[in-house]
Amino acid sequence: MKRLYLVLALSAAAAVPFTASAADGISYNYVQGGYAATNTSGPDADGWSLGGSVAVHPKVHLFANYARQDIKHTAIDYDQWRVGGGYNTQVGSNTDFVANAAYERVNAGGGVNADGYSVEGGVRSALARNLEGYAMVGYLDGNHLSGEPYGRLGATVKFNPNWGVNADVRVIKGGTTEWFVGPRFSW
């Protein structure tokens, strides 16, 4: 009988980390759009981007981003896609640990295409009632992609529970910096 109680107690203790949902003040349900820019060691590019995320479980979210940018001083534009899923678990009253994996693809003029994957992990936190921030480290690799580590920082200033402005920057070791800023609608 003591073994049964011990097994039940250990099972309940092991399940506790999997029962919590997102930390207070953090939503994995949003859509956003805005200005996107890429700075490289060669010509820079800028344009627009759309993205979103949806929580399919208290600890699992799916996301997608699309950007269309024009390379400055050329007639070339390119499309950039990122589609993936993530795992989030609460590590503090207002902080989540987040791990994401994504398929990434770039289609440029002249038949220049690249695809691969990225993996990243970090924290996302409600820093104040109207401010959320995140910090991630990751790795990007694949066919004609850099195969380099990167860091990503972002913040969302919230005007009310639904509307805010998000800013994001991803700095890839090989010399590329990707920027985004635009309105976000969360639910």
- The C-alpha atoms of residue 2 and residue 94 are separated, in whole angstroms, by 38
Q: How many CB atoms are located within 10 Å of the residue 28 CB?
A: 23
Report all structural domains of the chain as residue ranges with CATH numbers, in order of start. 20-186 (2.40.128)
* Nearest of 85, 80, 93 to residue 62 by alpha carbon: 85
Window from 18-32, 62-76, 168-182 with minimum mean pLDDT: 18-32
Question: Two tokens at 83?
Answer: 């589609």
pLDDT band per the 50, 70, 90 thresholds, residue 19? very low
* Beta carbons within 8 Å of 178's beta carbon, 6+ residues apart: 36, 37, 38, 169, 170, 172
- pTM for the full model? 0.84
> At 9, is the secondary structure helix, strand, or coil?
helix
Environment class of 68 (CB within 10 Å of its CB; exposed 0-12, middle 13-18, buried 19+): middle
> At 4, is the secondary structure helix, strand, or coil?
helix
Q: What is the DSSP letter of 5?
A: H
- Specify whether the backbone of 141 is left (phi greater than 0), alpha (psi in -120 to 50) or beta: beta
Average pLDDT over residues 85-107: 96
The mean pLDDT of the chain is 88
Encode pLDDT of 115-163 as tens digits: 999 999 999 999 999 999 999 999 999 887 668 999 999 999 999 999 9
Encode pLDDT of 115-128 as tens digits: 999 999 999 999 99
Q: How much is the CA Rg of the chain, to the nearest whole Å?
A: 19
Q: Please give the backbone phi and psi of residue 159, each rounded to the nearest 5 degrees, phi first.
A: -85, -30
- The C-alpha atoms of residue 122 and residue 1 are separated, in whole angstroms, by 43
- The C-alpha atoms of residue 57 and residue 184 are separated, in whole angstroms, by 21
Question: For residues 94 and 23, is the Cβ–Cβ distance under 8 A?
Answer: yes
